[in-house]
Chains A and B, each alone.
Chain A
């Protein structure tokens, strides 16, 4: 494009912005909002992932491969470590014992526990890492300790604490501490710190021999972290060892761990990004409405420019440039807003966006050029997409006609249609519906519900595409009835100007569809969670430790008759690694009888009877989805250092553990040789002794850092977390509805402006202000009605896709579809009223038209 052409283009853009300030500013803001949300989510997630990965590396070091048990109760024999160390391809093996212990500040731990409890410093479990200093120096340098001035060595009895832990416990190097895990207790002292630990790492490091002596396991370690000789191909080396490992052990590439961290939160991140895209879509829609009305209003001007020699290509490009001129500052503003939002969010809330994957992290937000450019381009692309159809309409406007009579409502290709929709349009709509239905039948791609998202987009397109034929069918029939003069004017205008009606209605279709779908999905989910909580919280009281066995003192006291409980159910937690690419599955060892299973878990289908000589397990719904399992099938589990064949007795609903859980009866687990280390308790106080039971627990559990809660509290907290995690969707729904109503008002106003001569003629023929107002408001109500009707239909369809396709594929949760009709219809009625009020703005414009002046002017 030549410089003079740029100059003309710039004049027209500037003129457009000056004359349509509000619409342009709102379009820019909508684009900015979409970009800001997407960019902030990206920045927070990237920072949280990097932070998580760094935290993992700081503890795990940077090995090439990790040898570990698939079951977290399993162990790696030292003999195997030694055998691998002798492999010429292995440079070094660092044996590690990792466990969790409770730390009490003095050697007199009982007194300390009471004092800490009184001071509100109940000890939380921390990670204790036992390592061999020589191999650790090569593989895990960040865990190397600094010793105190007394010269106490790494090999002496003592632990090294991270600065964060020292600060939290208000201790200094040299202080005495007691470390407790279950029955095992180690009275020792802090002999140094860990200068290279990250600021938020709560860690203890000691010589592996000391840890092994105090907490076990004898002749075994938790993991072996390996470095290979330079030039060794990791994949082929892993393959050579895969067949030689004992059952229950796994040798994995360390890079898998980083990938697994990313996989954990991927579906959640994609879902958040789709929400941001919805915001961007509403921005693109506003650009569409703004540019279409701008093209309609300036059709005579563009026709004149065409007559004077502006090429058709330039008429198309001009509208696209105007779209870009909205998108570029909008996207730039969005980047700034997104960066600010990410900074503010991480300062206040840390790195977790609500999924719970990164809670407790404090990531550093870093803006990188390439992703920033990507989001900038996305904002521009959304704006361009919004301007595309108006630009094409501007390109095909017949110049002579547009110069004489203004905007042609239908492009030349569809001129000459009667009021009935063409068969080809109806066939296209039917094909779209079939395509959407087909997409809902497709499985997830890369474990993401991409086809489901595609189906949602198609349903929205379908809703907008169905607006003109539906308008023509409904109002074509309506127009043949006896109507008052204002009503006839309104109906005739809708029937004869379906494009403007489509633009006006499409905002409401999209926004109401999104609102109905989100309300439906959230309502279905909340009801399902509510019912699920009823099933999984049968006891009045719960006690939970944090990844450690419950203290023996407490368990022993519970056994005594003085404890005021009628019934106690014990549960132990473990983790089983079934696939190195996926997070571990939670193992729940529960005190229950096989026959009780149906009554004790919220099963989604029939419970299979398992032969007495087989081991039954009951898997959660996400586990069934992730590993494609079914009741009655044999499931080989890596339990207690070996592979154990179990039978799936049933599938139970679980909205808590997204990556799967498996329940095994404690008797079966013990029979397999496992140790039942209880970590959770469900307690039923004796009748009439509820208050005494709580007091008993408070007295016996004080200072252990345990969670004690009533079921009503857990239920309230769970539902509150649920509501908080969906709070952002309510804000988006409100923004979408405002944008939809704004689109209706702007388009109706543009329609009035375009029909100025017609309305002025009506005024001259005897339409008074009240009649004109009624005509325009009636038109607004009819368009809003069509928009809301289609929006409702699309919303229920999208709600069903979200509930039955997106949720199971992304999060592996299933639930029944519950449409909250009262809420939805009330929302529709309120929106209709708001739509009529919004159309009053256009009606006022109609009544203020200087009729005489309009009629006198040829244009």
Chain B
């Protein structure tokens, strides 16, 4: 079995040769020029303010996953910079989102991360709001002039739409509908059956850089051999890079194969990381006879057969490549999703409320539980021992402040350490701006789209209620 190419012939860009127009196919070429942006975008308060004027209020942001709000009254709070939103499942099954702000004095109405409720009571003066945002009760209402409260000021609603088990909000009343704005090809997210996954781990750590420094790091695999050398035995860093509309992008990374840079001593020179991936696919290493050229393909075959045996119908929508590889998917502006057949990582690069030199790295791991002894969370996902992956328990968010080393696994820690140094260097008088190469095309594509908003190339929408700061 096995048809992996000779790793010695690898060249960038990786081209899987999938049909153009298919989900796996290469996107049409995009010319984003060779501009070198001023590095102040990474640290100046002026640029941060511009983002809050022209970018954040106008784009669709991932606010929640439906797995967290399955029943009426289930809610979760989404924090983004200085803004917070309550996302609530309604009695009719729809989902609404509101600014987490009491209409009386501005207090945060909800001060927990998530839960289930019949109503929300502000902790300041106990004004009560329904899950649909209506103002249910004003304590001592007779002491308020009707001119102030006669219009029954409820929670301020924001637009909320759902796609493939992911809930998005948009502060701009005039933004295009989510599906129209979504840069990913139709059916891309849906193929992974995210609705049937459970959120099994949620971490949020404060990193010492601008949110865009974080995005830049995760939007390319060029740094892999240098920052994450331990991955070289099991992941190829030359990716297929696809640039989609509206700043979206994707890189397909081959898993289960040695990097083309990695030495191969002999044909059975299997890396420990590859062995882990073979085992994750249900392959018995004691009897496995494949060579270094077979591993990725054998992982695909084993997972395909296992899915058939277990009746995992969504695998029929996934290509063989999706069973082994990482489809590392960027949702403009601040999300990257590591998409895998067993589960997905939704990584949000959340701007700090006040400090352009900080952001929050928010990582939600969703996993589709299959009750079978031959099926488990892939070991490379670095799940700590003892975590319930059945979906019975929705874990609390694990939080780390900027000066604590977050418990996010050895690979992500390397990124955490890296970005602080990059952020400091970017601010040096000696740095003239980033020089992005072809392997960093997604980074350039992302910044080009940021600039379209900041420079007003996208006509500003009319402000609507609740969209102003």
Chain A complexes with chain B: no
